[in-house]
Amino acid sequence: MNLPFQIDLANKVAVVTGGSGVLGSVFSKALAANGAKVAVLARNKEKIHHIVEEITDEGGEAVGFSADVLDKDALQQVKAQIHDQFGTVDILINGAGGNNPRATADQEYFSEPVDKETKTFFNLEQHAVEDLFNLNFLGTLLPTQVFAEDMIDKESCTIINISSMNAFKPLTKIPAYSGAKAAISNFTEWLSVHFSKVGIRVNAIAPGFFLTDQNRGMILDEQGNYSDRALKIISQTPMDRLGEAEELIGTLLWLVDEGSSSFVNGIVVPVDGGFSAYSGV
């Protein structure tokens, strides 16, 4: 892994939820490469094992846990195991989240007539929307309830949430995901104030458009070429491309490092190739 710069995370314990995903795995490896002891939380045991193995092969310290971020009791059990192996938690990266195709409309703009096969705003599945909000919002709130307890009145503790550019400007077709990520940005600001007297800084990263396992079907067609929607996204991104996962590392390390960002609290940082700055004309 190529790091843009080094910080000292020796003796720090970091928890990364969604830590086996495309972005979460990069966060996990970057923190370990800077000396942190990393607990990788995700659901897929095989992927977790792979990430932990990569970290340890590079000389880092990591342990993996298969856990549901919506199961608070399971998270408490994980915390107890982290205490036994590494000690109390200093850094929490809330990386778990994602979209749900059943909460996604087929149309960018509503128009009639509509055939029975078309998924419109009016027939988005309620349970899919609920599941999406739970994964993104409760999947951030519950790990914070569990792991932030360790951070009270410790030095140099931080929480980083993962928002999205959809929180600033909602994309067409995905109202539930956009709303859930807007909630993450708002929750980040709320937490930053709530914990400001006990030494915990809370910020968020809002990635623009990166190719991940979850959005691969939207970004690429069956031949592996950019889809029409991806080309539309790139046309609205002044840097004319998608982001690379490792391009998030600099922002992550800056926000984690007390020496670099000790007075930075309650912000949401876009990493988007200029998408949020472009008016479209």
The catalytic residues are 177
Provide the 8-state DSSP code for 135.
Answer: I
What is the Cα–Cα distance from 17 to 67, expressed in whole angstroms? 9
Please give the order of strands across the beta sheet that includes 13-17.
61-66, 37-42, 13-17, 91-94, 157-162, 200-207, 268-271
Task: Give me the residues paired with residue 243 across strands.
Answer: 210
Q: Residue 189: which of 199, 200, 203, 179 has the closest Cα?
A: 203
State the CB neighbour count (10 A cutoff) for residue 235: 11
